[in-house]
Amino acid sequence: MKPIYVGVDIAARSFDLVVRQDARNARARTFKQTGADHARVVRELLALNPERVVMEASGIYHLDLAVALHRAGLPVSVINPRSFRHFAHIKLVGSKTDPIDSALLAEYAERIAPSLWQCPTDAQLALRDLGRQINRLGGARTQAKNRLHALRAKAMTLPLLIEDEEEGIARLDQRIERLQRAALDLIAGSAQLSAHLANLCEAKGIGQASAIALLAELCVLPEDLRANQVSRFAGLDVRLTQSGTSVSSPGRLSKAGNAYLRAALFMPALSASLHDEHARAFYQRLIARGKKKIQAQCALMRKMLTGIWACIRNNTPFNSASLFS
């Protein structure tokens, strides 16, 4: 029997599924994003025994289906949407509809054979959700503090407005503190996560709040990733634009990665450049070579991420001396 490949195009309330066998696609079928339809698809695919089921990483909407397929023992791959977009361009597909995308994903599964998705544990997924909510609330608190500063800069501002903004900031402080406690309780329930948190806090510049934010994003990654792959995941890889003799632009950060992880790295790297002698020496060497401060800061972030990933992958404390030597 010829191998079967399945493509799944994810939307918020539904998903389209196409089965491909012998280089031919079956008609696209639409299912709802409900537990009942997920179970139905699992039963059908178990009967088909596909070689690979491929879907795009579509925000959070792919997660429940991917987990259901993985727990059923089906070979599921969750791919980068940009990779699939390039594949569609190569195929010269002009139209974009859900049935067309699901058929293309089935062909992608056959031709590319992407790596299998490793499903994070419930605790890891919960920690990531907590970390991202803390990040969002921290951003809202910064905006509120900026508004409060602007209100206080005017003599004619109504006291009620200042009081209202102060109450909002206090409420955000309470929400962030509650979520951080929940994150610490979750970490305490896992020996592995607790060890990772302790190892990260060994680094100068990484406090408890930063360690939670970093661990929340990194704990869900497969531990066999290399350091350069994690840098690309964070969007800290340098993108070069050079072609022939007429096109030559300076390298720039791609920023085509995890913005939460970059935000979590910024302050620890800045603090390390001031308080960690090894990180400070690394930073100053880059400045002496003619690098701009922001370039040196980004290089320091990338270097720290390498050390942090080594902590998680090898379950060892952060070692600044060996990292920046």
The pLDDT of residue 244: 67
What confidence score (pLDDT) does residue 94 get?
A: 76
Position 93 scores a pLDDT of 82
d(CA 87, CA 69): 24
Note the pLDDT of residue 251: 67
> Residue 84 — φ and ψ, nearest 5°?
-70, -35
Domain map (residue ranges) of the chain:
4-112, 122-217, 231-323
**Whole-number Å distance between alpha carbons of 80 and 107:** 15
Mean per-residue pLDDT pooled into runs of 10, the chain (325 residues)? 93 94 94 96 96 90 94 94 88 85 94 91 94 96 97 94 97 98 96 94 92 94 87 83 64 78 94 93 94 91 94 91 87
Nearest by Cα to 50 from 7, 114, 10, 83: 7
Distances in Å between the Cα of 297 and the Cα atoms of 87, 218, 287, 291 are 35, 21, 10, 10
Strands 29-32 and 52-56: unpaired
How far apart, in whole angstroms, are the C-alpha atoms of residue 280 and residue 277?
5
For 4-112, CATH number out of 3.90.1150.10, 3.20.20.70, 3.40.50.970, 3.30.420.40 equals 3.30.420.40
